[in-house]
Amino acid sequence: MAREFHNLQELRHNASLVTKVFVQRDYTEGTVCRFQAKFPSELDHRIERTLLEETVKTLNSYYVEAEKIGGQSYLEGCLACATAYIVFLCMETRYEKVLKKISGYIHEQNEKIYAPRGLLLTDPVERGMRVLEISVFEDRGSSSSSPSSSMSSAGSSAR
């Protein structure tokens, strides 16, 4: 663009969603919520392996904590029974509390690690805990190798 009178917005590079990479669930230990630690090859040149693996490991540990059957969950159940489940209207269950923590963690990870690399994690709970969705963005100024028009429906466009 040789013109001089473009405003900053036009000159700014926009990022567009190129593709989404999905980290699937790891069912080797049953239906416990776990995600595969396998690094998807599409992200090879986008992010360091260790970072993503660390994120997935932390998420897995959060889910283990959420689904733990121990004192707190037992007491919660008893209380709920005793109050004919009315307590669910007032109180947040253990799982929900952990989900909130997870959501905060994902946001923090996105802010610190993924957004600077043009990636975006989506909270798995929005996908029914089936996949961990990683949206891959490309600088619109640069050519993207795969057509991304079909991806336009995705909501997480950078800009």
Residue closer to another protein, measured from CB, 14 or 58? 14
Rg (Cα) of the chain, in Å, rounded?
A: 20
Work out whether 37 is an interface residue with another protein (CB under 8 A): no
Residue closer to another protein, measured from CB, 21 or 59? 21
Site residues (CB under 8 A) for another protein, limited to 47-76: 47-48, 66-69, 72-74, 76
Work out whether 85 is an interface residue with another protein (CB under 8 A): yes
Instruction: State the minimum distance, in angstroms, from the CB of residue 157 to another protein.
Output: 8
Instruction: State the minimum distance, in angstroms, from the CB of residue 6 to another protein.
Output: 17
Residue closer to another protein, measured from CB, 47 or 59? 47
Region of 84 (left: φ > 0; alpha: ψ -120 to 50; beta: rest) is: left
Measured CA to CA, the distance from residue 3 to residue 144 in angstroms comes to 25
Rounded to 5°, angle at Cα 29 from 114 and 134: 15
DSSP string covering 37-56: -PPPGGGTTTS-HHHHHHHH
